[in-house]
Amino acid sequence: MKKLLLSITLGIFLIIVGCKGQNKLANTTQTSSIDIKVDSILALMTLKEKAGQMLNIGLPAVLTGNYWDSRDSAVYNVEKFNELIIKSAVGSIHNTPGYPAEKEGWYQIIKKIQDSAMQKSHLGIPVLYGIDNIHGANYVNGSVLFPHQIAMAATWNTELTKICGEITSYESRAASLPWNFNPNADVAMNPLWGRIGESFGEDPYLISEMTLAYLKGSQEKGLQDSTSTAVCLKHFIGYGAGKNGKDRANALIPENSLRQYFLPPFEKAIKNGAKGVMISSNAVNGIPCHINSHYINDILKGELGFKGVVISDFSDVEFLVTAHLSAKDKREATKMAVNAGLDMIMNPFDADIVDIIVDLTEKGEIPMSRINDAVTRILRLKYELNLFEVPYNNPKGYTKFASQEHIDANYKSASEAITLLKNNNNILPLSSTKKVLVTGYSANSINVLNGALSRSFLGRETKFNDPSKLTILNAIKKQVGEANIEFVEGTNYLEDINSDKAVEMAKNTDYIIVCVGEIPASEKPSDINELDLPEVQQALIKKLSAAKKPIILVMVQGRPRIIREIEPLVDAIVMVYLPGEEGGRAVSDVVYGNINPSGKLPYTYPKYSGNVLSYYYKKADIRDINWGYDGFYPQFEFGFGLSYTTFDYSNLQINKDTLAGSEALEISIEVKNTGNRKGKEVVEVFLKDFLSTLSPDSKKLVRFSKIELNPGETKSVNFVLNSKDLANIGIQNKWIIEEGEFEIQVGGNPQNLLKKGIYYSK
């Protein structure tokens, strides 16, 4: 495959490697041998070639037509292709061709790019292709479409999340896509934020564990393995805390909160080898993250010791000029961002940034050492991914792509995510012989189940849907037969369609299943002004309640949309999140009892738009109008979720009631399945700190474990805490443990936890 030029180039650097590392090479680790190769190739590069490595363009920039055109094949614009891929030798590409290519189609695209870059450009460096395969390899047609991250978090099953990472990786690599702009490690503190569905929710510990699990699934086999992808954690940092809840909005995050809540998920993943980090588009405390040298240089690369590639978000250097108004032009913006620590610039439309970087460096406004650091990181990742040897992968080798094994894991994830929030008089599961009316916006749509970033960016195109996948309605019909099931839309997302007809039909049924939901959306299109579930969808339930038939509410949504007025009108509530393409089956299996639900909320579900708090609020936040402290009244608490069976907790034991220095704490609890169905239960361990100078949080999650119990079975569940778990950020912005009383709280229902006090002394 390699042409003469590449061989000569490689030959030269291997000679240099040989000389430079003769003694070293024999005993050296793989990493240091990569470092030697990187140094050698760096020594051969012109400044312009280095700047080219720092550029990430969008694939449509080298195709015919306008950038945003939807296409059905990838036709190259020869001039632009030669200019960008060969002459400018861009380091990296992202985005789709404008349609969801099959793995074979991706192979053709990437092969053409890599062959050209490696055989025709001066140094023959392969391109690093990055993509947002955020719930399965969603941009590879035919891949399994997993639940979105928020649903994976609701499973509280790290093993499943790891498998999700593994399968996503496998199916991405089947399409020669080695770098995934995922997982999302944002802490989603503001329920209005439209990308909560793409996050693991509000809790730093749950997010850290899930991010780590996904990372392991993607990278654990080693990046040289042709089924691994390098992850790119995003978005660093504070994207999920925009003050007004809008996409890319300014967040106010004091240093202590940054360290207590926002950094830990990134820190854990970086310690465990995450290879990429994407910077957040928003500003924190008014400083755009892309020019925040304290965040990138000092914290990310300094304190956390991150050695991988720091990439900008989409067009974000330009955003510094057009939206943040922090730089007067692109030149100034580039200088600020690169000096702040950015290694790669996602500059989707062209290569103008290359000349800007060259000019800035030649004039001494960006030090050469900074450029070398950036390019070293990029080349190192390319070597680690073995792209110089295997720049693309033969799709034929990926026989497990969309296999039954992958579909089963997907179905299992969707099933375990489903969270039963209400079940009056054990109305669920339903008997299959009853007459049921199915209605509502999300009842008969695969797109709503899949959400955004499903084959297309917004995920609203029906032409890309897999016809073999079942909507909620079709899955129910398949399960219990058509005879007993009636359907009418009722509403779409924002408008009444035929709610009167729904009310009429409801009179002749035994139960009504109303499926509400959110329109698929991400980024700006996901902004909303009201957290309430759209009025028309609530109105449908209000009207239907007049029929006096039991109502089962199924919610297909990323965010917790407020349902305060309709909650009392329904008998059961099934929270589905954005469950992906096996979601219809999973809902039907929960409703009819083939699956015993075991999901728990990964965020606090607010009841009032004026009472929005994460569960780790401060006591002063909940002072009520009677001067008491009863002002936290969510609709449902973080960690809440019911089952068709019941669990009893007893015998909470802690090995010591006084803890000193760095001693470990051993906790055990007995959990019994007291119902008559087998079920899974999430055992949650919270820690409450009673007194600290920096006002303590109400509690924090420190451990969890998902177990399965047969009817009547009891299991003892054990946890070990260490003193680090007792630490909080103090007023000096450092982790400290203050002497005093703490409480361990354990259980499966946040309103009913077993508690035991301990004392910590130094």
What residues line the site for ligand BGC (CB under 6 A)? 94, 132, 181, 234, 278, 281, 313-314, 523
Neighbours of 539 (CB within 10 A): 16
Q: Which of 112, 213, 111 is nearest to 159 (CA)?
A: 213
Half-sphere exposure (Cβ direction) of 336: Cα atoms closer than 13 Å = 22
Active site residue 313: yes
Q: How far is the CB of 57 from ligand BGC (least distance, A)?
A: 12
Nearer CB in complex with ligand BGC: 523/689: 523
If we measure between CA atoms, which residue out of 751, 194, 230 comes closest to residue 518? 194
Of 226 and 281, which CB lies nearer to ligand BGC in the complex structure? Answer: 281
- From the number of C-beta atoms within 10 Å of its C-beta (0-12, 13-18, 19+), residue 446 rates as buried
In angstroms, what is the minimal distance from the CB of 234 to ligand BGC? 5
Q: What's the 3-state SS for 80-112?
A: HHHHHHHHCCCCEEECCCCCCCEHHHHHHHHHH
Q: Which residue is nearest to ligand BGC (CB)?
A: 314
Q: What is the smallest separation between the CB atom of 247 and ligand BGC, expressed in angstroms?
A: 8
Pick the catalytic residue from 313, 343, 697, 725: 313
Angle at 403 between CA 402 and CA 407, to 5 degrees: 75
Q: CA 6, CA 391: separation in Å to the nearest integer?
A: 13
What sign for the dihedral angle of Cα 222, 225, 228, 234?
positive
Nearest approach, Cβ of residue 119 and ligand BGC (Å):
28
DSSP reduced 3-state for 142: coil
List Cα–Cα distances, 137 to 74, 134, 448, 741, in angstroms. 19, 7, 18, 47
How many of the other CB atoms lie within 10 Å of CB of 646? 15
State in angstroms the smallest separation of the CB of 198 from ligand BGC.
Answer: 8
CB of 163 to ligand BGC, least distance (A): 23
Strand order in the sheet with 230-236: 309-311, 276-279, 230-236, 179-180, 128-131, 92-94, 55-58, 345-346
Residue 284 identity: V
Residue tagged 């579930």 (tokens): 533
Smallest gap from Cβ 518 to ligand BGC, in A, equals 18
- Cα 760 to Cα 738: distance, rounded to the nearest angstrom: 8
The beta strand positions in 362-489, using DSSP E, are 419-423, 436-439, 485-488
Task: Find the shortest distance in angstroms from Cβ 131 to ligand BGC.
Answer: 8
**Burial 215-236, CB ≥16 within 10 A → b, else e:** bbbbbbeebeebbbbbbbbbbb
Tell me how far apart the alpha carbons of residues 457 and 370 are, in angstroms, rounded to a whole number: 34
In this complex, which beta carbon is closest to ligand BGC, that of residue 135 or of residue 422? Answer: 135
Q: 96 vs 537, which CB is nearer to ligand BGC?
A: 96
Count of C-beta atoms within a 10 Å radius of residue 622: 16
* Residues forming the active site: 313
